[in-house]
Structure 1
Amino acid sequence: MSLAHFSSLSSSFTFLPPPIPSPTTRVLSIRCIHTRPSTSVSAKTLSNIVNSGVIACLRAKSADVALEAARAAITGGLSVLEIVVSTPGVFEVLHQLVQDFPTTTLGVGTVLTTQDAENAKNAGAKFIMSPAIVKGILDEENDDLLYIPGVMTPTEILSSYNAGAKIVKVYPVSALGGVRYIATLKKPFPHIPLIASQGITTDLAGEYIGEGASAVVLSDAIFEKEAMTQRNFTQVYRLAQFASFKVNEAVERKRKIYPG
């Protein structure tokens, strides 16, 4: 089903993106009180990511655009979202979204330092992602925050897993061979959850899931550059809705083939 066909099915309603704080409204300051949960937060986060099958990756040039785009994507049906750390006010934006969408699995992407990891945790992130392996983060045991390191090679995948990573991000997957690369990696590593990331379109997401990816990262496929520039958050909503629909189909097909 194409986006045009999908859009025609949902044309009976109009999406009105929630309002953002006015320029005079300050985003809530970060105040988090951490208590030790009865079950591992990171294990639940991993389960949420696998059940969703898609992580929406948001980068924006301002905090207010990030807020509106994130709200549109979540309202469109996406339950896992990361905000790239280079987004202005990323931790304040994240904290606000945690208040607005407490059941959504929210995280921070392109985390390269332990300080950013700590800031993300304090802002309410449930997971953080890196384009590489940051040993200072990987070596620290943390049941409250799922760390997803970026890997390229079989050696990096196995080393990260043996060091404690519960799931890894294969990046940049399109440059490494795309769907075929994920299928090849799953042969020696069927027990290691892999996230496919970089250059993935919504139409290809199902193929990645079908060939063994536990989830895919969708960036421009949801947060289309033109839509973000024009602040067309209705388009972001539609793209998020379409992506959620397509990936859910793929996840359900996979469950029928590999139940349990």
Structure 2
Amino acid sequence: MELLTALRTHRIVAIVRGADADASLRTVLTLAEEGIALVEVSLSGEDAPGVIRRARAELGPAAPLGAGTVLTARDAGTVAEAGADFVVTPAVCEGVTESKRLGLPVLAGVMTPTDIVAAQRLGADGYKIFPAAQAGGPGFLKALRGPFPDAPFVPVGGVDAELARTYLAHGATAVGVGSPLIGDAADGGSLDALRERARAFLDAVRLAPDAGR
């Protein structure tokens, strides 16, 4: 999988983290049906490797499917075996190095310029600014693009549809979206409401400028 191309094309990564594995699977499949092509299943959710494995079987080999909260080498091996084809980490950690060794592209969690340089040295394919709101929001992203003008940044944390447009206007390659999009769907909540939120986010992303692409 060419992660950077996918981020530039789709511009949104949905983050699924649920207390109900069956509901999490339904959430992944519903997002795919609505046209949200990049979905990350967080290892902090219930039976995340099982959700990834079942989603891979349902979606087929060509659909992008990621694993999030990958911290350790063991995590990386687990998600690779389950069928993930890209990895997202919350920090610059062992999960980055082992995922790259296994041939998986990585969106590495960063918060400072030092983190970005460290992630670059480990071969990260993109940089997840996390937690984006606490780091300083769109203004912080704009500032980072000064010393790192070509770095593919993906802000994550508290990103609603309006903020998604703002981040993209300030140079984000894509945005990562959890609860503002997923709501309670991965815990057994309404899939109809999830579909409505998905369409709203897709509309917001389509209308956003392409400063970071």
The TM-score, its normalising length taken from structure 2, stands at: 0.92
Structure in which a larger fraction of residues adopt helix: 2
Measure, in 2, the Cα distance between the counterparts of 1:136 and 1:125: 14
Aligned counterparts, 1:120-139, within 5 A: 120-135=79-94, 137-138=96-97
Read off the aligned partner of 1:119 and give its amino acid letter.
Answer: T
Change (3 A) 1:139 1:228: closer
1:110 aligns with 2:87: no
Read off the aligned partner of 1:54 and give its amino acid letter.
Answer: I
Q: Counterpart of 2:147?
A: 188
Q: Counterpart of 2:133?
A: 174
Provide structure 1 residue ranges, at least 5 long, that are not aligned to the other structure. Answer: 1-40
How far residue 248 of structure 1 moved from its aligned partner, in angstroms, is 2.3
Read off the aligned partner of 2:3 and give its amino acid letter.
Answer: T
1:223 to 182, 186, 191: 182
Aligned counterparts, 1:1-260, within 5 A: 41=1, 44-102=2-60, 103-135=62-94, 137-138=96-97, 141-142=100-101, 144-225=103-184, 227-229=185-187, 231-250=189-208, 253-254=209-210
How far residue 229 of structure 1 moved from its aligned partner, in angstroms, is 4.9
Contact 1:138 1:147 survives alignment (8 Å): no
How far residue 70 of structure 1 moved from its aligned partner, in angstroms, is 1.4
**Tell me, what secondary structure is at the counterpart of 2:159?**
coil
Contact 1:73 1:241 survives alignment (8 Å): no
How far residue 194 of structure 1 moved from its aligned partner, in angstroms, is 0.8
Read off the aligned partner of 1:116 and give its amino acid letter.
Answer: D
Structure with max Cα Rg: 1
Change (3 A) 1:229 1:167: closer
RMSD: 1.9
Identity %: 27
Change (3 A) 1:92 1:248: same
